[in-house]
Amino acid sequence: MAWHPVAEAEALSDDEVVGVKIAGKDIAVCRAGGEYFALGNVCTHQFALLSDGVIEDGCIECPIHQGRFDLKTGQPKGPPVSKAVDVYKVRVDGGRVMVELDEGSP
Ligand code: FES
């Protein structure tokens, strides 16, 4: 496992999400309620990037069919999504948002 810098902490406002690519993986990094979160960026329903969606009530909402995923657990919050997205550990270090990722995992 390794920590990867993905964004300047001050550059992310509350309820803002950005898409980043680390070791070939699409990851959505967002801030909500002053906390930072990192999840798989590809919706598990059909293809859409969650970083094009919105943050609301502790969830990220897919821009295509409005499927919602819990920011902390990645679990779906109801139809049409039924499969979770991955979640990653996040910390802020030296003003940068860092995401922990196993580069060897599929
Ligand atoms: S593609 Fe995300 S809910 Fe359908």
Read off the pLDDT of residues 44-68 as tens digits, 9 standing for 90 and up: 999 999 999 999 999 999 999 999 9
106 falls within a domain: no
Tell me, in angstroms, the distance from the centre of ligand 1 to residue 67's CA: 6
Name residue, tokens 């930072």: 36
Beta-bridge partners for 96: 8, 93
Please report the atom of ligand 1 found closest to the CA of residue 66. 3
For residue 94, pLDDT over 70 is answered with yes
Residue 37: which CATH number? 2.102.10.10
HSE-up of 45 (CA within 13 Å, CB side)? 20
For residue 1, pLDDT over 90 is answered with no
The model carries a pTM of 0.93
Ligand 1 mutation target, pool 51, 62, 83, most atoms within 8 A of CB: 62
90 falls within a domain: yes
With bands split at pLDDT 50, 70 and 90, how would you rate the model's confidence at 23? confident
**Tokens for 58?**
């502790």
Nearest to 52 by CA among 18, 92, 23, 89: 18
93 falls within a domain: yes
What average pLDDT does the segment 7-33 reach? 95
d(CA 13, CA 47): 26
**55-64 in b/e burial notation, b at 16+ Cβ within 10 A?**
beeebbbbeb
pLDDT over 70 for what percent of the chain? 96
Average predicted confidence (pLDDT) for the chain: 95
Number of domains in the chain: 1
pLDDT at residue 6 in the model: 94
Residue 52 backbone phi and psi in degrees, to 5: -90, 0
Range of the domain at 8: 2-101
